[in-house]
Amino acid sequence: MTTLTARLKGHRGAAYPLVMLVVFFVVPFVIMLSVSFFSRDDGAFFQPAFELSNYSRFISPFFGKVLLTSLTLSAAAAIISVSVAVPFTYFVTRMRARWQSVMLVFLLSVLSLSEVIIGFAWSTLLSKTAGIGNLFVAIGLMETSQSFTPSLGALLLGLTYLGLPYAVLVLYPALSRLDPEIPEAARMLGASPIRSFFNVVMPMMRNTITGALILVFVFTLGAYLLPQVLGRPQHWTLSVHITDQAIFQSNLPFAAAMAIFLMLVSLALVGISTLLGRART
């Protein structure tokens, strides 16, 4: 009797998150999936139907270019973010507990910034009149100030700034639990600090680094404002084109189809990366 009661309580406890999952994920997903098969009507916006024309547009060269741009930008931002986050987090974990708390609070404050604030802040810093170009002129690195945005470099800088705090927060727990005697033993055997870091610490953090790469990649894949503020039209991601089709082109069925496709691509890449991480353990 006691076991049966405990099981019933366990099922009741699982009912609430299940209901929330259905209401806030399953139902919107089903609606979006249904709309993706609707037909566009210039007069009535769209009407119920079952057409594959919205998905057949995915094989066009333009869509392929947009998808490749989105995946390339997200992959580059993830690699840069994690490459900076790994040594940064490693040194943070070697600080005193007080300074570690200060750094974590700083990172959390950065996470509180929206993409809008980040985008326009970097746009100002990289501008010609109020940007870092004036600083370069003052110290003699440049003769005249110039604008660094819009450009691919400015966009990657913004995406890296957006994803770096998430990478650090993923890496911090594993690095803080790392036994400091392990790299110390490598140095006692003759390895330099840099060699012990890459040959001892990095292999032990392989799964955590893979998780950080996946998180930053998926997070930046949905970037919407930064490609428009810091990049050029050829750098616009799939998220930007989804909004363009839904709002400006009044083609909600095609926008829903692109959103479904983007989500499936993200899930597939996460699944492949997870399998690769497990296969290497």
Q: Please write the tens of the pLDDT for every residue from 183-206.
A: 777 777 777 777 777 777 777 788
Strand partners, 39: 47
What was the pLDDT predicted at 202?
78
pLDDT value at position 281?
A: 52
Task: Give 81: exposed, middle or buried? Use CB within 10 Å, 0-12, 13-18, 19+.
Answer: buried
| R_g over Cα of the chain | 24
By percentage, how much of the chain surpasses pLDDT 90? 8
Kindly provide the b/e burial profile for residues 210-247, where b requires at least 16 CB atoms within 10 angstroms of the residue's own CB. bbbbbbbbbbbbbbbbbbbbbbeeebbbbbbbbbebbe
Q: What letter would DSSP give residue 244?
A: I
Distance CA 74, CA 210 (A): 14
pLDDT tens for residues 32-71?
888 888 888 766 677 787 888 888 888 888 888 888 888 8
Q: Which residues, in sequence order, are bridge partners of residue 46?
A: 40
Give the residue extent of every domain in the chain: 57-279
Range from 133-142, 222-231, 253-262 carrying the lowest mean pLDDT: 133-142
Residue 135: the pLDDT is: 82
For domain 57-279, give the CATH number: 1.10.3720.10
Q: What is the DSSP letter of 113?
A: S
Six token digits for residue 227: 């490609």
Predicted model pTM: 0.80
Residue 58 per-residue DSSP state? G
- Output the pLDDT for position 5: 54
Mean pLDDT of 147-154: 86
Q: How far is the C-alpha of 259 from the C-alpha of 190, rounded, in Å?
A: 53
Residue 46's alpha-carbon distances to 29, 35, 250, in angstroms, are: 18, 9, 9
| Predicted pLDDT of residue 8 | 46
Q: What is the per-residue pLDDT across 155-176, written as a single tens digit (0 to 9) for each?
A: 999 999 999 998 998 888 888 8
Distance from the Cα of residue 229 to its chain's centroid: 17
Helix (H, G, I), strand (E, B) or coil at 277: helix
Mean pLDDT over each residue of the chain, to the nearest integer: 81
Angstrom distance (rounded) from CA 92 to CA 176:
9
